[in-house]
Amino acid sequence: MTAAAPRSHALDALRGGAVALMILVNNPGSWQHLFTPLAHAPWHGVTPTDLVFPFFLFAVGASLAFTLPSMGRGFWPKVAQRAALLFAIGLFLNASPFVRWNAEGELVLRHWENLRIMGVLQRIALAYFFAAVIVHGLGARAALRLAVALLLGYWGA
């Protein structure tokens, strides 16, 4: 059994701030009178709303530095379990409510053909899985070089 990874209070604060910002962005009060920083920016520009998802991805990536060394031989089961759990929670949240009231006041089942498979948590789960596999397989320096190459390739495209 390996020792538990140390907690990073700064990373916990970043996660908490990202969650608080996400709650504010998703529940702004009135959608008819939306405060501009709580709306996504047009194609050019950035608002605090546009930073929520990158903050979560940064927190996931930074936490890999603490969790990967403590995984030892149980890397594959732990990473697969965490990614699958995040993906499943995201699906559950996207599927709920399973029943709803229609305009006539009748209780109806959810239309499953409208289920959003790739929600935010599902994307975070996939990013976590692939980032963990890349860092585990290539090492930190090669993963950094790959990240730079991917960013430059994306910028060039």
Q: Which residues are catalytic?
A: 40
Alpha helices in 27-139 (DSSP H): 52-71, 75-95, 120-138
Q: How far is residue 96's CA from residue 84's CA, in Å, rounded to a whole number? A: 18
Helices 140-156 and 120-138 cross at an angle (nearest 10°) of 130
Tokens of 59: 């927190």
Question: By the 8 A CB rule, do 55 and 127 touch?
Answer: no
